[in-house]
Amino acid sequence: MKSGWRSLAIILAAGVCTVMLPMLAPGSSDGETKPNGKGMGTLLNPGNGNGGEAKAAQPGSGTNNGIFYHGGPVMLGTVNVYYIWYGNWGASEAKTILADFAANFGGSPYYNINTTYYDGSSHHLNNQITLAGQTDDNYSHGKSLSDSAIQAVVLGSGLPLEASGVYIVLTSNDVTASSGFCTQYRGWHTHTTSGSIQVKYAFVGDPTRCPSACEAQTSGPNGSTGADGMANIIAHEVEEAASDPELNAWYDRRGYENADKCAWTFGTTYTTSTGAKANMKLGSRDYLIQRNWVNASGGSCALSYP
């Protein structure tokens, strides 16, 4: 590791513009925090309306792997990713880079890590992701999006709403999210109900809006610092949306979901032709993507499984 990259790793380890990870609440009686999708967590306690004590881990559910199953659903089968390009994207190269990423993310040794997660009937997640649709939104809710506005963007996108989908609102660099983009998070995921469908969705902002706080490096392996940085956060949110779609399945006692546990750690890297760092090739492109938590063999952050 070169000294410049080592310095970067130290900065990232300090928590620069990642998800704000949860802290245990002082005096909590059960010592466990429940995630809220932004990594900040809410106390899981019998008296606070969050569903009571965590359910006992089922056999093989990760009791000794540093992450626990809490009884909620996971996303089985193929995960259909939908992109909502919000703001001023036009014919941006970012669209090509991130479409390629979604097309090659599933089926990779990296996403195979998510197959170590399963539901209460021991049905494991599949290593299957597809880019099922894309649409543009020309500032339908302005340039500062509240959490409720992001939900409205998803529900009003015109995309088919399905339980197997994860709808990702990708904002251009002139758009912010008022609940903490660039100061508390770069992305988050949650869910809502539309009719009888549980709709899973996420927000991912363009890191070039706040490069000193939100970019892992000053150049990208595909020549687009914004898109390359967004690929990393898309991976984080899809991993969590699949393994903890309703915020009641897989997380640890601090409320960290699987990707939270490895946030901003990249493992072994190499230098690409652009001079940027990368740690994996998906399809024909190189990417710098954070590690994910393997729910097996004691648990660990890794770039592939097995």
90-126 per-position pLDDT tens digit: 888 999 999 999 999 999 999 999 999 999 999 999 9
In a domain, 95, yes or no: yes
pTM of the model as a whole:
0.86
- The one-character DSSP state at 111 is G
In a domain, 68, yes or no: no
Tell me if 304 sits within 8 A of 110, measured CB to CB. yes
Q: Give the strand pairing for 176-177 and 144-145.
A: parallel
In a domain, 76, yes or no: no
> Mean pLDDT throughout 32-50?
58
Tens digits of residue pLDDT in 142-169: 999 999 999 999 999 999 999 999 999 9
Helix or strand holding residue 197 (H, E): strand 197-205
Tell me if 225 sits within 8 A of 208, measured CB to CB. yes
In a domain, 72, yes or no: no
For tokens 């072994």, what's the residue?
Answer: 268
In a domain, 65, yes or no: no
In a domain, 67, yes or no: no
In a domain, 69, yes or no: no
Round to whole Å and give the CA distance between 285 and 15.
27
Query: Per the structure, how many domains does the chain have?
Result: 1
Tell me if 142 sits within 8 A of 172, measured CB to CB. no
